[in-house]
Structure formats: C-alpha cells, structure tokens
Amino acid sequence: MFIYNLKIDGNKLGKIFLGILLGIIIIITAIVVYRILGNNFFKTNDDTNSVKVQELTVSNYTNVLKTVHDNIDDYVGMRVSFSGYIHRMVDFKENQFVLARDMVISSDLQTVIVGFLCECDDIKQYADKTWIQIEGEIIKGDYHGDMPILKITKIQKIDKPSDEYVYPPDATFVPTSAIF
C-alpha cells in the first residue's frame, strides 16, 4: 500500500485559482461584448452616397405620420416616398402643401385629411386634389410649432389609387428608428 503525502501551499493554490477564474471572466466578457456590438461595429461604411428611401404604404401611413410628429429629431434626414393628393391651406407659403390622404374615422366613412407638410418649388404647376408620388427628406421646420417637413426631391403625377383611404394609428405599431 502506497500513501502519498502531498504538501499543498494554500497561498499558491489560491493565486492559481484566482488567475484561472479571472481569465475565464475576461474571456466571457469579451465574447458578450463582441456579440452585443456585432461584427458591424468594427467595420466602416465608405458608401455615403447610398441613402435608402423608405416607402410609406396605406397600412403604415398614419402610424409613421404619428411617430415622426412625436419624435421629429429621430427622423430628420430620413428619405421617404409615398403618394397622396395635394391639399393647400390659406396660410401656407407658395411652395408648401400637404401631401394628403383621407383618414377614415367612423364606420359610415367620415374622413379627415391627414398628411405631411411638404415644400417644393415645382408644386405651383399642380392643382389642388391632384394625385402625386413624391420622394423627399424629412427636415425639422416650423408651422405653428415644431413640425416635420418633407423637402421634395422627386415629384410625379399619378392616377388616383384604388386604396385612397388610410386608417387611424393602431396600438400594435412599434416605432423604431427604422420605422418601416
């Protein structure tokens, strides 16, 4: 029968254990940070000319309109595209109009006009109630207080769509910085 007598220095063993534990914690922390930040954190985006244009649809129109009005600063610079008809108010400047849609507010199809305030120098050639497709950039402007304004970059006359009505914002919409 063999009996081994091992002498272990408790101070040295504690240092080794703490060193291994610290190494494991550092490795786990590095993995978590890498996964949270993702691979794209360390890459640079050299393609500054490609700005994605977000398409507004009948189904998300009023949700987006409400979200952008509530959080203007989060959406300044975003490019959007959508269609509607031209609606002018008495106190608008010559280059201002609302790209409007009729929002249904009751079961008997009562509607109210909703839309983004837009600015475009070429709008003078279009009459009220003309349906157009636009593309523009959201800027922060002033019309009876802070308001998002679309600076129009493209405009095209279109036929009246079959889905001309929009519906009130719904509670299931979750706004994000990429609202579409």
- Do residue 101 and residue 162 come from a single domain? yes
- Do residue 95 and residue 157 come from a single domain? yes
Within a domain: residue 178?
no
What is the per-residue pLDDT across 16-42, written as a single tens digit (0 to 9) for each?
A: 888 899 999 999 998 888 887 765 555
- Do residue 26 and residue 93 come from a single domain? no
- Do residue 110 and residue 24 come from a single domain? no
Q: What are phi and psi of 163, to 5 degrees?
A: -105, 65
Within a domain: residue 174?
no
What is the per-residue pLDDT across 136-153, written as a single tens digit (0 to 9) for each?
A: 999 999 888 889 999 999
H or E element in which residue 1 lies: none
- Do residue 97 and residue 19 come from a single domain? no
- Do residue 21 and residue 104 come from a single domain? no
Within a domain: residue 45?
no
Within a domain: residue 171?
no
Within a domain: residue 78?
yes
Q: Kindly report the CATH number assigned to the domain that includes residue 78.
A: 2.40.50.200
- Report the domain count for the chain: 2
Token pair 């494991």 in the structure block, residue? 24
Claim: this prediction has a pTM higher than 0.75? no
- Do residue 17 and residue 61 come from a single domain? no
| CA–CA separation, 111 and 109 (whole Å) | 6
What is the per-residue pLDDT across 39-96, written as a single tens digit (0 to 9) for each?
A: 555 555 444 444 678 888 888 888 888 889 888 988 999 999 999 999 999 999 999 9
- Do residue 22 and residue 68 come from a single domain? no
- Do residue 19 and residue 67 come from a single domain? no
Within a domain: residue 104?
yes
- Do residue 34 and residue 118 come from a single domain? no
What is the per-residue pLDDT across 102-114, written as a single tens digit (0 to 9) for each?
A: 998 887 878 899 9
| pLDDT greater at residue 76 or residue 174 | 76
- Domain of residue 27, residue span: 10-39
